[in-house]
Amino acid sequence: MPRVTLKTIAEAVGVSRTTVSNAFSRPDQLNPELRRRILEVAEELDYAGPDPAARTLRRGKAGVIGVLLTEELSYAFTDPYAVAFLRGLAEIAEAASTSLLLMAWPDEASAERVVREAIVDGFVAFCMDEGHPALEALHQRRLPFVIAGEPYVKGVPFVGIDDRAAAKTLCTHLLRLGHRRLAVLQATHPRINMDTAHMSSAIADRLAGYRDAVLDAGLSWDDVAVRPTTHSREGGRSGAAQLLDLYPRPTAIIATTDLIALGALQAVAERGLTVPGNVSIAGFDDIPEAGEAGLTTIRQPKSEKGRTVGRLLLEETIGNAPRILMPYELITRSSTSPPPGA
C-alpha cells in the first residue's frame, strides 16, 4: 500500500493539498473546525506528519549543524577535551533549537560520501587531521563552516588558541624554575595502515613553542629528548617510562597534552619516584582530571571555544572569515617545582 501523504488526506477530507499542509504548518490559515477534522482524519490514516525531507527541500533550512571529528566518532565521548568543547557547542545550538549531527564514517574513503550527504546548514570540523579528505569535501559543499582547534586553513574561519605562544609560556615556566634537562612527550595520530606516525598541526605548534622557549633560554634544542607516543594515558605511561631511564634523568617532562601527562605521572609513581620531588611534569589543555591530579598545564577555554564556534555558525556573520584566538592561561599546580638540588 502506498504511503500516506498530504494528498491522501486531502482526498479523504475533500480539500486541497495546500489546506492540509496549512493544517499542520500554519494553523492560523484555516478554519479551526476544518483543521480539527483534517487532523482527525490524519490520525485515522496513521499519517506520520509532513515529511521532513520534503519540507527541508522546499524550505532550504535544516536546523542542524554537522560536526566532524577525528577518526573515531566514539572519540567525541572519550576525550575530555572534545567532551567539553561539544558541551559548549551544544549549549548554543540548543538555545537556537538547532540539533547537532555527529558525523561518522567507518573509513577515510567513506568520509567524503558522508559529508556530501549530510543535511545541515553548516559544519564544524573539530581537530581534524590536516589534509583529511573530509575537509576537501567540506569545501565542496559551499556551506558555512568553522574549523576548531586545527588545522588552520587560510580563508576558513578558525577558532583556537595560539598553541605556539602558549607552549612557550609553559616551557619558560619550567626553565625559570631552574630546569635544564628537559624531555618532551609528543602525541602522534597513529594512522591505520601507515607506518609513519603523523603529527597534527596543533601538536607541531606546541613543539615549536617549547623549542622557542629553550632557544630563548640559550639552551640547545638538540639536548631535549623528544619522544613520540600515541595520544592516550597508556602512551604517556610507556613513553615516560623510557624517558625516566635516560641518564642523566630529565628533571622535567613536558607532554603535549594532559592525557599523556597523566600517563607520565603514573609512570613516575611506578618507578617509585615522586612528582615534583624527583621530576616535574607538565601537560596541556587542563582537562578536569588534570586538576584532580595537580598537574601544571595550559588552560584553554574548551567549552567557550565550542560556544564561540556555535555563535559563529548560527549568526552567519562568518563571511569575513576571522581567525579567532581565544585566551589561554598557565595553571601552575603541584606537579612542577624547582629541580632536585636547586
Paired with 186 in beta bridges are: 228
Q: How many CB atoms lie within 10 A of CB 340?
A: 13
CB of 128 to DNA, least distance (A): 25
Paired with 268 in beta bridges are: none
| H or E, element range at 197 | none
Q: Buried (b) or exposed (e) across 55-81, using 16+ Cβ within 10 A? A: beeeeeebebbbbbbbbebeebeebbb
CB of 45 to DNA, least distance (A): 11
Residue 29 binding target from its own copies, DNA, none, CB below 5 to 8 Å by type: DNA
CB of 77 to its own copies, least distance (A): 4
Residue 220 binding target from DNA, its own copies, none, CB below 5 to 8 Å by type: none
Could you give the 3-state DSSP secondary structure of residue 23?
helix
Residue 30 binding target from its own copies, DNA, none, CB below 5 to 8 Å by type: DNA
CA distance 56 to 225: 55
Residues that bind DNA (CB under 7 A): 2-3, 5-7, 14-19, 21-22, 24-26, 28-32, 34, 49-51, 53-55, 57-60
**Smaller CB distance to its own copies: residue 82 or 199?**
82
| DSSP calls for 41-97 | HHHHTT---S-HHHHHHHH----EEEEEESS-GGGGGT-HHHHHHHHHHHHHHHHTT
CB of 80 to its own copies, least distance (A): 10
CB of 280 to DNA, least distance (A): 57
Residue 104 binding target from its own copies, DNA, none, CB below 5 to 8 Å by type: its own copies
**Smaller CB distance to DNA: residue 56 or 332?**
56
Q: Count how many residues are written for the chain.
A: 342
Residues that bind its own copies (CB under 8 A): 46, 48-57, 62-64, 72-74, 76-78, 83-84, 86-88, 90-91, 93-106, 110, 113-114, 116-119, 140-143
- List Cα–Cα distances, 204 to 163, 186, 207, in angstroms: 9, 9, 5
Residue 99 binding target from DNA, its own copies, none, CB below 5 to 8 Å by type: its own copies
